[in-house]
Amino acid sequence: MRVDGVLRGRQARRAALATLTALSLGAALAAPARAQGQGPAQAPAQAQVLPDFTDLVERVGPAVVNIRTLERARAGNGNGRGGPEMDPGLEEFFRRFGIPLPGRPDPRRGPPGGSDEPQQRGVGSGFILSADGYVMTNAHVVEGADEVIVTLTDKRELKARIVGADTRTDVAVVKIDAAGLPFVRIGDVGRLRVGEWVVAIGSPFGLDNTVTAGIVSAKQRDTGDYLPFIQTDVAINPGNSGGPLLNMRGEVVGINSQIYSRSGGFMGISFAIPIDEAIRVADQLRTNGRVVRGRIGVQIAPVTKEVAESIGLGKPIGALVQGVEAGGPAEKAGIEPGDIITKVDGKPVERSGELPRVIGGTKPGTRTTLQVFRRGNYRDLAVTVAEIEPEKPRRAAQAESAPRAAAASPIGLSVSDLGDAQRRELKVRGGVRVESVEGAAARAGLREGDVILAMDNTEITSARQFTGLVEKADKSKPLTLLVRRGDQTNYLIVRPSGR
């Protein structure tokens, strides 16, 4: 009885163990099925990581054009073959596939017929803005061209007329005689985010409708006077210039314009002109044939953190006025070298590069209020914006031949008073001239002939006053000098010996 009971207990335990094993195995076998069932729900996330550009390219591709520029053959081509030198391997590739060499005559068109026969000058890209044939590209693509040929994706070749080109922004508009053309949609650059996927379509080395992709690496790159560029890692090469940079909605957000390269080829950094800036330029080119910009007549530089802290500005914002054009709008408004322009019509100027864009976009004749920081205080000055024009040559102040009484300085400077003629020449009320430099002043970058206008926000009126201020200054703290050199004014930080 006891043995039989033990056997029955063992059999029961074995049965229970078998049941548990079956259940575990069933759950394990069911898990892959559940995972497979979850597959479609995860697909959108996968698609976001690896985007598909095919629909975008099919939709926008027909609005992207190849631009070929021609010029009359001229004697004196550097290599005797009508174009720039090229890597032999790349040149052989072009020949093998019958592709025209950039800057060389097109072999498919036969030999040149004489000195007046147009020769290929270069290739670029562009995109159609409207169905009636307005095309946007880079100014450098069409610069110096005698003829411009636009090739559509349906292989039609049409002569184009240059409507206008603006070299400051590198934007140009050309017109072809056609109707019912496919055209691009313009995107919102403000919605563009760093890390977002973008696509370029163009004609690198004349290879029509080549598609490359990458991400936005940075925005607001100040590499030009009037434009904050979009930086990407999209592959851009010669011939891509003027082509569109597209977001994932197929909208143009930029014009591919520049690359950073030490070899002449793509190295992972390319720049595009923001489309909102380009459209503003294009509208003026279509209306007036040129771009009208405002100016106030100042030379500017960035404000460093060290200077901002030393003069009481706090943080490095605004544009430091290094020079003021004689008789220009800024001088008439009372702006002086050494001023820091911090606002235009109440809008902050965060970086110096913003000022030319803001003033340049202001209609000439407009009365504008500038906030400037001067000698530790803010003040508002009204200036009437003029139309931009070529810079006038400026004369540097000439040293007078009259003898000066120099005063020595504890920081290694010998300075002297300015004569009346010098002050009139420099258009300054006071200041002292540097006669000799050594020690801490030399390390700070001061030179003989510099004119010191202010020290620690105190205007300098004489050599005696300057020397007294230096002697009374805290020797443990640096001195901030506002210095005029030629026609530019800047801040220099002088640290006593051992600091």
CB environment 383-398: b (16+ within 10 A), e (fewer): bebbebeeeeeeeebe
**Catalytic residue from among 106, 132, 140, 261:** 140
Check if the beta carbon of residue 381 is closer than 8 Å to that of residue 330.
Answer: no
- Domain 188-288 sits in CATH at 2.40.10.10
Q: Tell me whether residue 55 is one of the annotated catalytic residues.
A: no
* Total-model pTM: 0.63
Q: Tell me whether residue 170 is one of the annotated catalytic residues.
A: yes
Domain 294-387: CATH class, spelled out = mainly beta
Domain 58-176: CATH class, spelled out = mainly beta
- What pLDDT does residue 1 have? 40
140 is in an annotated binding site: yes
| C-alpha span between 69 and 22 (Å, rounded) | 77
pLDDT along the chain (499 residues), means of 10: 42 52 45 44 56 94 94 55 50 50 52 57 91 95 91 94 92 95 95 95 91 94 76 92 95 91 74 94 91 91 91 92 90 93 94 89 92 94 85 35 47 83 80 85 85 89 85 84 87 74
Is 407-494 the same fold as 58-176?
Answer: no
Own/partner pairs for 303-312, CB < 8 Å, 24+ apart?
Answer: 303/340, 303/352, 304/491, 306/493, 307/480, 307/491, 307/493, 310/456, 310/478, 310/480, 310/491, 310/493, 311/373, 311/376, 311/456, 311/457, 311/480, 311/491, 312/376, 312/457
270 is in an annotated binding site: no
**Catalytic residue from among 125, 203, 217, 241:** 241
222 is in an annotated binding site: no
Domain 407-494 falls in which CATH fold?
Answer: Pdz3 Domain (2.30.42)
| Domain boundaries along the sequence of the chain | 58-176, 188-288, 294-387, 407-494
